[in-house]
Structure 1
Amino acid sequence: MTIQASTEILEGSVLALLTREDYYGYTITKEVQKVFPISESTMYPILRRLKKEGWLETYDQAYEGRNRRYYKITELGEEQLISIKEDWAQLKEATDKILEDKDGE
């Protein structure tokens, strides 16, 4: 895929993943990389921003003698995900009209 995913799409993807279960950062990156060609360094600034906005919270859990930082979606994050999904639906519809030459049908 040569079209790059916007930050908002990546944010929505992370929030959507976290509605299923809590993940630690590396796993989030690997799950998103299954769909979008992003580098590992792309995801951590997004996670920090989502936490700063109050859409995620974190907790640490021991794993094989080390701590892993897990991310959990908040109620505000769930509301933001709804907003992102609505915006995506509008963008997809508008883009489909142009790319598929539907002429407003």
Structure 2
Amino acid sequence: MKELQEFTKKYQKELDYHIKEDNYDRSKESLLMNHMLLSTEVAEIAELLRELFTTTNEKKIEGLAEIEAFKYAKGKISDDLGKEISDCVAYLCKLANFFERDIEKDFYDKMEEVKQRVKR
């Protein structure tokens, strides 16, 4: 994940896609824009999941067994889903980099916190 964050930092600076830090108003505008863009990408994942279930039902009506219909639909959206997940990761890396967070460490710390909560 550290490599992804580092790649993202360089890539976004190169394309001038990084969150601006030169003054409060530019940072605020950049953060809000990136929040909207991330939200849009998450919504695109939701649309693909809807397509997954719609296609599964259509294929079942056409006579495919449910598991086969589901496998077909899953294959149909897989490439696009990968692209949308990648867009989300890019925006999350951008936010993490702005706040100087180590996503990998934060992730494992959070998973441990959840595990401790579940064990109670």
TM-score (norm 2): 0.31
Between 1 and 2, higher relative CO (CA 8 Å, sep ≥ 6) is seen in 2
More helix by proportion, 1 or 2?
A: 2
More strand by proportion, 1 or 2?
A: 1
Max radius of gyration: which structure?
2
